[in-house]
C-alpha cells in the first residue's frame, strides 16, 4: 500500500463492468475526495475509453503507485444520486449474490442515468430576454397592462417561472406570452428542478392528505382489521408479516389500508407485483383508493417513462412506487412500508442475465435495514416463507374466506384412464362445461402450454420437427402457420409434408390454440377468448380480454399461467385444469411445489362471489400423493407433507444451494470448464476456524436443455447445510473460477439460492 504523500485521498469508484472490485481515482483538481459524496456518479478514464461509475467510498491510501492513479474527468452529481440506505442494500446484494458491484448498481439506474443524463428533471420555464428587461424598465407595455404585468412578474424572478407558477399568478398569461415572445422580450427554457432527494420536512402535502383515506373504502372484516392493526403497530420497527388467505379473501384491501396509514405519516410505500401484466390493474386499484401520485417501474416502460418515474420516486413526489422485480431498487428516501404481492411467484427471481437476485428476499432485507414492516402476501406461500413463519421469524396474518363469499370451490380429479377424451378434454369435463354454461355461468380452462401443439410428427418416418439451435422441439402455431421455438425464438413456416420423406405430418398434443379450436367445435354458440402470450402481448390486449370476461361477453376463457395471476372473474363457476401431470415427475425438486401453487391459484378463480365454484383436474395419476394431499388438506396439508420430505433430503429451505452455470459454443467446452472449476475448489475445512459443515459439489452435468440458441450449457451444484459455510466457500473459490473463465473464454454465472436446477 502506497501513501499518497500530499494527496488528501482517493475516490473508490464502481464501474459497470464484470469486475468484482472498485477502482481508485484521484478527484478532479480543486476537489477534496470527501467533497464528492458516496452514491454520486463520476466520469472516469477506463482503459482506452471513458466510463461512468458511482462513488462507493473514500480512502486515504491506494494499493496503486501514486503515478498510476488517474483523475476523475467529471463530477456528474454534486449530491448523492443514490442515498446511503439504498447504497447499503446494493452493497449487500453484490456481496450475497457474489456479483460485480458496478453491475448491481448500474442495474438499479434507468438507462439514461447510466449514460450520464442529468438526475434533475428539466421542466419548461419562462424568463425575460435582455431586450425584455429593457422593455420592462421602460414600461413599453403600459397600454397593455396584462402584458406589462407578465413582464414585471418575470422581472422579479431571476431564475424564471414555471407554467404552474405563472398560471397561479396570472391565469390568462399564455395568450400574452405569445405576443411578448414574438417581440423577442421573453423566452422559454428548460430548467432542472429538485436538486436533492426529498427530506421528511419536504414531504408533499399529498402524502399527509391521505389521512382521509384511512377507513375509506369497503368495510373490513374482523380478520382484515386485525391484520391492518398488527402491521400498523409495527410502523417504526422491522417486522415481516405473511398475509396468507384464500384467493378473494381481501389481501389487496389490507395493502391499501396499510398504505394509507403509512402515507398519512408522510412516509412512502413500495409495492411489488410479479408480472407486468398485473401492473395496470394494480395501479388502477391504488390510484382509485389513495389520493397520492403513483410511480410505476417495470422493464416494459420506455426509457423516458422509466427515468421520469425514477425521478418522481427519488424526489419524494410519488407516495407509492408500484412495480415488478427491478422496482426493489427504487430510490425512496422516506420508505415506510414494503408490500410483496403473490410472494411465491418465480418471477421475483432474476434468472437470465445480470445478478440473479430474488426481489422478495431483497424486500425483506431492505425492510430490515430500514427498520420498517414488510408484508408478503399469498394464498400459496413459498416453502421458504412457510418455514420462516414456522420458526417464528415471520408473523402470520390469516385471512379466511369473506363472509359474503361462497364456500371454497369443490375440487375433483377426473381420471383420464377411465373416460374417453376429445382432443384432451374428458367426457365428464365437457358435460360439466355444458351444465355451467346452460346455467349462465362462465368457464375457465387452464393449460400451461401455448401454441397449437407441442410437437409436429411425421406419420411415415417418425420425424419430429426440431429446433436447429436448441435441443428442443418446435411448437406448432397454427394461427400464424409457423413452427416456433419457445426457448430461442426461432421460427419457420409450418410444412404440410415431412421434409425428410414427404409423408403427411400431424400436430401431436394440445396447446391453448388447439383447446380453443376444440371448444369452438363443442360450443359454437358460446363466445370464447384465449389468454396467453400470443393474444396478450401488449397491456392493452390484456385489458380488453379481461374487460370482455368481466362484462360477461365471453363465456369461456382458455389460458395459460396468465389466468392465475390475481384476476378477479366473479362470473367463473367452473375451472378445468388440463395436463395437471406435467409437474408430477420432474427432476426439479421444486416442481411439485409449483404445481400445487398453480392448481390452487387457478382454482381460486372459481366461485369468488356468492355461488360455490367447481374445479375439475384431469390426470392419469389420481392416486398420486401430491394430488391426494392437496385434495384432502388443501395447500397447507400438501405443504406440511412436502416440507417434511424436503427436510429429510436437506433440500431448501433446510439446506443452501448455489449453481454455477456455464455455456460455450462447443459441445464439451462448458463441461470441461466446470470440471476444472471443481478441481480448483478449496477444501471446505479451510473455510472456517471452527467445526465446519461440509460443502458438496455435484456435477458437472449438462443442463436439462443442453443446447439453447446455438450454445451448450452445463451446471455444477454447490450444496451446504449452512449459509455462512456456503458463502465463505464461494468467496474463496470465485477468483480461481474467474481466472479459468478468462483462459477458456467461457461464459459463466453464479446463481445463489436457485429456484430452478433443471
- Residue range 410-453+512-647 in CATH 3.40.720.10: no
Here the cell at position 497 is 409434408
Q: Which residues contact 712 (CB under 8 A, 6 or more apart)?
A: 663, 664, 665, 666, 667, 668, 669, 670, 702, 706
> pLDDT at position 325, please?
93
> pLDDT at position 470, please?
92
> pLDDT at position 3, please?
37
Decide: helix, strand or coil at residue 186: strand
Q: Which of 229, 211, 210, 212 is nearest to 220 (CA)?
A: 229
Mean pLDDT, 10 residues at a time, the chain of 758 residues: 50 90 88 89 91 91 82 90 95 96 94 86 81 87 87 83 82 87 86 46 47 60 92 94 86 93 93 80 82 86 86 88 94 95 93 92 97 95 95 93 69 90 90 91 90 92 92 91 91 91 90 93 92 83 84 89 76 87 80 89 74 87 88 89 90 94 90 93 57 79 90 93 92 91 85 88
CA–CA separation, 154 vs 161, rounded Å?
A: 7
Sheet of 556-559, strand order: 410-415, 614-619, 572-577, 442-446, 556-559, 528-531
Chain centroid to CA 366: 15
Domain at 656-752: CATH architecture: 2-Layer Sandwich (3.30)
Task: Provide the CATH topology of domain 2-114.
Answer: GIY-YIG endonuclease (3.40.1440)
CA–CA separation, 295 vs 270, rounded Å?
A: 10
Element (H, E) at 531: strand 528-531
Please check whether residue 659 is in contact with residue 716, taking contact to mean a CB–CB distance below 8 angstroms.
Answer: yes
Task: Provide the CATH topology of domain 203-399.
Answer: Rossmann fold (3.40.50)
Query: Beta partners for 54?
Result: 14, 41
Centre a 10 Å sphere on the Cβ of residue 139 and count the other Cβ atoms it contains.
Answer: 11
Identical fold for domains 203-399 and 410-453+512-647, yes or no, is yes
For 19, phi and psi rounded to 5 degrees?
A: -130, 135
CA–CA separation, 531 vs 546, rounded Å?
A: 9
> pLDDT at position 8, please?
58
> pLDDT at position 691, please?
46
DSSP codes of every residue in 293-334: -EEEE-TTS-HHHHHHHHHHHHTT--SEEEESGGGGG---TT
Domain spans of the chain, in order of start: 2-114, 121-193, 203-399, 410-453+512-647, 455-508, 656-752
Amino acid at each position: 500500500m502506497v501513501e499518497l504523500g500530499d494527496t488528501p485521498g482517493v475516490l473508490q469508484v464502481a464501474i459497470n463492468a464484470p469486475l468484482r472490485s472498485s477502482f481508485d481515482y484521484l478527484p478532479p483538481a480543486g476537489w477534496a475526495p470527501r467533497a464528492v459524496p458516496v452514491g454520486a456518479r463520476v466520469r472516469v478514464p477506463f482503459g482506452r475509453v471513458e466510463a461512468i461509475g458511482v462513488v462507493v467510498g473514500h480512502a486515504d491510501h491506494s494499493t496503486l503507485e501514486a503515478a498510476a492513479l488517474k483523475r476523475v474527468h467529471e463530477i456528474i452529481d454534486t449530491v448523492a444520486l443514490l442515498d446511503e440506505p439504498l447504497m447499503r442494500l446494493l452493497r449487500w446484494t453484490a456481496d450475497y449474490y457474489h456479483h460485480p458491484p458496478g453491475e448491481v448498481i448500474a442495474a438499479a439506474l434507468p438507462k439514461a442515468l447510466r449514460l450520464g443524463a442529468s438526475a434533475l428533471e428539466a421542466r419548461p420555464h419562462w424568463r425575460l430576454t435582455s431586450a425584455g428587461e429593457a422593455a420592462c424598465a421602460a414600461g413599453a407595455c403600459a397600454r397593455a397592462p396584462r402584458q406589462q404585468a407578465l413582464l414585471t412578474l418575470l422581472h422579479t424572478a431571476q431564475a424564471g417561472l414555471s407554467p404552474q407558477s405563472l398560471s397561479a399568478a396570472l391565469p390568462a398569461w399564455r395568450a400574452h406570452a405569445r405576443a411578448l415572445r414574438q417581440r423577442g422580450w421573453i423566452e422559454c427554457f428548460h430548467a432542472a428542478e429538485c436538486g436533492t432527494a426529498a427530506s421528511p420536512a419536504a414531504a408533499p402535502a399529498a402524502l399527509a392528505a391521505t389521512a382521509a383515506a384511512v377507513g375509506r373504502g369497503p368495510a373490513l372484516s374482523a380478520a382484515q382489521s386485525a391484520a391492518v392493526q398488527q402491521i400498523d403497530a409495527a410502523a417504526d420497527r422491522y417486522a415481516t408479516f405473511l398475509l396468507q388467505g384464500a384467493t378473494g379473501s381481501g389481501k389487496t384491501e389490507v395493502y391499501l389500508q396499510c398504505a394509507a396509514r403509512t402515507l398519512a405519516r408522510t412516509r412512502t410505500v413500495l409495492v411489488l407485483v410479479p408480472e407486468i401484466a398485473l401492473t395496470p390493474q394494480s395501479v388502477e386499484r391504488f390510484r382509485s383508493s389513495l389520493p397520492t401520485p403513483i410511480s410505476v417501474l417495470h422493464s416494459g416502460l420506455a426509457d423516458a417513462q422509466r427515468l421520469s418515474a425514477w425521478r418522481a420516486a427519488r424526489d419524494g413526489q410519488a407516495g407509492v412506487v408500484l412495480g415488478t422485480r427491478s422496482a426493489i431498487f427504487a430510490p425512496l428516501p422516506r420508505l415506510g412500508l414494503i408490500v410483496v404481492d403473490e410472494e411465491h411467484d418465480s418471477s421475483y427471481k432474476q434468472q437470465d442475465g445480470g445478478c440473479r437476485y430474488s426481489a422478495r428476499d431483497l424486500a425483506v432485507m431492505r425492510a430490515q435495514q430500514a427498520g420498517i414492516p414488510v408484508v408478503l402476501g399469498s394464498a400459496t406461500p413459498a416453502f421458504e416463507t412457510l418455514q420462516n413463519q414456522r420458526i417464528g421469524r415471520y408473523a402470520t396474518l390469516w385471512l379466511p374466506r369473506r363472509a359474503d363469499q361462497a364456500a371454497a370451490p369443490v375440487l375433483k380429479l377426473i381420471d383420464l384412464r377411465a373416460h374417453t377424451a376429445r382432443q384432451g378434454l374428458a367426457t365428464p369435463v365437457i358435460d360439466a362445461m355444458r351444465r355451467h354454461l346452460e346455467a349462465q355461468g362462465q368457464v375457465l380452462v387452464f393449460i400451461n402450454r401455448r401454441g397449437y401443439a407441442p410437437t409436429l410428427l411425421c406419420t411415415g418416418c417418425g420425424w419430429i420437427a426440431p429446433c436447429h439451435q436448441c435441443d428442443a422441439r418446435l411448437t406448432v402455431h397454427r394461427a400464424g402457420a409457423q413452427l416456433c421455438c419457445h426457448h430461442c425464438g426461432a421460427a419457420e413456416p409450418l410444412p404440410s409434408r415431412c421434409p425428410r420423406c414427404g409423408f403427411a405430418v400431424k400436430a401431436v398434443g394440445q396447446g391453448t390454440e388447439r383447446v380453443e379450436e376444440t371448444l369452438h367445435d363443442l360450443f359454437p354458440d358460446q363466445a370464447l377468448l384465449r389468454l396467453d402470450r400470443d393474444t396478450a402481448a401488449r397491456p392493452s390486449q390484456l385489458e380488453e380480454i379481461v374487460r370482455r370476461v368481466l362484462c360477461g361477453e365471453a363465456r369461456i376463457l382458455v389460458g395459460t399461467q396468465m389466468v392465475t395471476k390475481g384476476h378477479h372473474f366473479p362470473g367463473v363457476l367452473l375451472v378445468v385444469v388440463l395436463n395437471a401431470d406435467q409437474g408430477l415427475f420432474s427432476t426439479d425438486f421444486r416442481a411439485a411445489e409449483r404445481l400445487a401453487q398453480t392448481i390452487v391459484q387457478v382454482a381460486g378463480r372459481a366461485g369468488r362471489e356468492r355461488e360455490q365454484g367447481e374445479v375439475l383436474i384431469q390426470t392419469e395419476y389420481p392416486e398420486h400423493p401430491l394430488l391426494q394431499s392437496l385434495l384432502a388438506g388443501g395447500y397447507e396439508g400438501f405443504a406440511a407433507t412436502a416440507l417434511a420430505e424436503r427436510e429429510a433430503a436437506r433440500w431448501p429451505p433446510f439446506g443452501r444451494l448455489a449453481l454455477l452455470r456455464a455455456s460455450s459454443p462447443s459441445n464439451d467446452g462448458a463441461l470441461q470448464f466446470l470440471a476444472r472449476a471443481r478441481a480448483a475448489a478449496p477444501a471446505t475445512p479451510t473455510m472456517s476456524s471452527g467445526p465446519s459443515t461440509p460443502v458438496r459439489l455435484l456435477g458437472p452435468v449438462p443442463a436439462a436443455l443442453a443446447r439453447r440458441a446455438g450454445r451448450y450449457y452445463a451446471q455444477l451444484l454447490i450444496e451446504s447445510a449452512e449459509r455462512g459455510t456456503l458463502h465463505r466457500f464461494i468467496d474463496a473459490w470465485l477468483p480461481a473460477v474467474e481466472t479459468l473463465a478468462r483462459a477458456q473464454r467461457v461464459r459463466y454465472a453464479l446463481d445463489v439460492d436457485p429456484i430452478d436446477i433443471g
